[in-house]
Amino acid sequence: MGGTLASKSSDAAVPIGPRWLLEDVRDVSALGGRSVLILVTATVVLYFRLLRAFHRMWLVLAAAVGGHLQ
């Protein structure tokens, strides 16, 4: 995170905010991190739930959880 608005005034290399926020912003910008995968999985599961496609919903959840456990 470069830039003066996102850092403390004394040191431009030290970002403002908690460490988890910095990690989540990095994950979102990488499009492969935990935050993005959770968001996409939740969106797909909700979509299948609204369509009442419960078998597909459970399949997506099982695949996501199974991938996380490995």
pLDDT score for 14: 76
Query: What is d(CA 23, CA 1) in angstroms, rounded to the nearest whole number?
Result: 11
Give one DSSP letter per residue of 28-54, joined into a string: HHHTSSHHHHHHHHHHHHHHHHHTT-H
Angle between helices 34-50 and 54-69 (to 10 degrees): 160
Three-state secondary structure call for residue 9: coil
Three-state secondary structure call for residue 15: strand
CA 28 to chain centre: 6
Please, which pLDDT band fits residue 18 given cuts at 50, 70 and 90? confident
Percent of the chain surpassing pLDDT 90: 36
**Whether the predicted pLDDT of 45 surpasses 80:** yes
pLDDT score for 3: 47
